[in-house]
Amino acid sequence: MKFIEMRRGAWDTETTGPDPTTARIVTAAFMVRGGGRDDTVMSWVINPGVPVPDEAAEIHGYTTERVQAEGQDPAVALDEIASRLTAAIGWGMPLVAFNHSFDWSVLHYDLQRNNLPTVADRVGPDAVLPLLDPHVIDKQMDRYVRGTGMRKLKPTAERYGVELEDWHTAEADALAALLIAEAQFDGRYARLGEVWDRGPAAMFEAQQKWRADQQASLAAWFTGRGEHETAASVRTEWPLIPAAGGVA
């Protein structure tokens, strides 16, 4: 079945920081649409139990005071999020997130931090993960986008004709990722359709390889500029970024 014909999901997280191995989730959204049924949107506000840095709050609007007033207990909310994703994976539903390795990793480590099973634990080692990353796909299928920052979510959305308000809310960013994916799969890239037709395992493996190649190229670019420390920090893994030294 074509992606555009399926019931499909998307999710996003807003967090306390840019490192998914140490950041904590502040807000999250999971939405489902398509398949001839009404759209469903679920969202969470979480009190992470640590201060929300000012630079993070400026992006998503949730200060320490606000999450303390409005946020759920992290163990309750994180378990709900993981349960939703696990059910979707069990149904074989495509799950979209822009720069999926960030969201997948931050949830993975936040679950561990709260002594909860990860999504990988819940679905089991033999499960095929129907994850889609329109960021990875965009970089693979359209390699010559010029301009600093043009691969970020908003300019990427604009290139695919996606227009939204309230950027950097989890709900809006999840929807933007899903609409980008819909544009990518709706006949835009024939080669992408060929991979999709081989099944979710082939799609997953292709994205792993594309991400590894893309990040290796980025590291080589930094090395060529003499920025060896930055090059060494570039991670090639997808969707789970390894945590150095355990979970903080």
Model pLDDT, residue 46: 98
The residue whose two tokens read 């930094």 is: 222
CA distances from residue 136 to 111, 152, 237 in whole angstroms, order as listed: 25, 11, 12
State which H helix or E strand residue 39 sits in: strand 37-45
Superfamily of domain 3-200: Ribonuclease H-like superfamily/Ribonuclease H (3.30.420.10)
pLDDT single digits (tens) 217-237: 999 999 999 999 999 999 999
pLDDT single digits (tens) 107-129: 999 999 999 999 999 999 999 99
End-to-end CA distance of the chain: 42
**Is the pLDDT reported for residue 92 higher than 90?**
yes
248 — pLDDT class (breaks 50, 70, 90): low
Model pLDDT, residue 89: 98
Phi, psi of 225 (to 5 degrees): -90, 0
DSSP 58-112: HHH---HHHHHHHPBPHHHHHHHHHHHHHHHHHTT--EE-TTHHHHHHHHHHHHH
Domain extent listing, the chain: 3-200
pLDDT single digits (tens) 11-57: 999 999 999 999 999 999 999 999 999 999 999 999 999 999 999 99
**Is the pLDDT reported for residue 151 higher than 90?**
yes
